[in-house]
Homo-oligomer: A and B are copies of this chain.
Amino acid sequence: MTDAKVVIVGGGFAGINAAKKLGNQKNLHVTLVDQRNHHLFQPLLYQVATGSLNPADIAMPIRSILWQYKNIDVVLSHVNQVDFERRRVVTHNSELPYDYLIVACGSSHSYFGHDEWEADAPALKTLEDAIEIRRRVLLAFEMAEQEQDAEKRQAWLTFVVVGAGPTGVELAGALGELRRHTLRREFHHIDTSRARIFLVEAGPRVLPMFDKSLAESARKELEKLAIQVLTGQPVTTVRNGSVELGPKKIVAQTILWAAGVKAATLNQGIAQRVEVDRAGRVIVQPDLRVSGHQGVFLVGDQASLIVDGKVLPQLAPVAIQQGKHAAENILRLHAGQETQPFRYFDKGQMATIGRASAITQVGSLKMKGLIAWLAWCFVHILYLIGFRNRLLVLIQWMWSYFGFKRGTRIMTAENWKPSTSRSVEAGKNSDLT
A417 to B93, CA, bound (A): 10
Question: Is the beta-carbon distance between A388 and B405 smaller than 8 angstroms?
Answer: yes
A186 to B417, CA, bound (A): 40
Q: Among B38, B108, B411, which residue has its beta carbon within 8 angstroms of that of A433?
A: B108
Chain B residue with Cβ nearest A91: B416
Interface string of A127-167 (1 = CB under 8 A from B): 11001000000110010011000000000000000000000
A73 to B264, CA, bound (A): 46
Question: Is the beta-carbon distance between A416 and B67 smaller than 8 angstroms?
Answer: no
Stretch at the interface among A265-273, A325-333, A350-358, A370-378: A265-273
Q: Among B37, B267, B407, which residue has its beta carbon within 8 angstroms of that of A415?
A: B37
Question: Is the beta-carbon distance between B267 and A432 smaller than 8 angstroms?
Answer: yes
Given contacts A55-B54, A266-B431, contact A146 B395 (CB under 8 A): no
A145 to B38, CA, bound (A): 16
How many copies of this chain sit in the oligomeric assembly? 2
Chain B residue with Cβ nearest A400: B388
Complex contacts, A63 vs chain B, CB 8 Å: 186-187
Q: Min CB distance, A53 to chain B, in Å?
A: 9
Question: Is the beta-carbon distance between A408 and B77 smaller than 8 angstroms?
Answer: no
Q: Among B54, B430, B432, which residue has its beta carbon within 8 angstroms of that of A54?
A: B54
Question: Is the beta-carbon distance between B265 and A432 smaller than 8 angstroms?
Answer: yes
Question: Is the beta-carbon distance between B432 and A407 smaller than 8 angstroms?
Answer: no
A145 to B33, CA, bound (A): 13
Q: Among B94, B131, B138, which residue has its beta carbon within 8 angstroms of that of A146?
A: B94
A38 to B433, CA, bound (A): 16
Question: Is the beta-carbon distance between A61 and B430 smaller than 8 angstroms?
Answer: no
Question: Is the beta-carbon distance between B416 and A77 smaller than 8 angstroms?
Answer: yes
Given contacts A267-B431, A412-B131, contact A188 B36 (CB under 8 A): no
A389 to B408, CA, bound (A): 10
Besides the known contacts A56-B410, A75-B145, A81-B430, 18 further A-B residue pairs in the complex with CB atoms under 8 A apart = A9-B432, A36-B415, A54-B54, A54-B408, A61-B409, A63-B186, A64-B186, A64-B405, A75-B146, A78-B417, A78-B430, A105-B433, A128-B412, A266-B432, A386-B407, A388-B403, A388-B405, A391-B395
Name A's B-contacting residues (CB within 8 A). 9, 35-38, 54-57, 59-61, 63-64, 67, 70, 73, 75-82, 92-94, 103, 105, 108, 127-128, 131, 138-139, 142, 145-146, 185-189, 264-268, 386, 388-389, 391-392, 395-396, 399, 403, 405, 407-413, 415-417, 425, 429-433
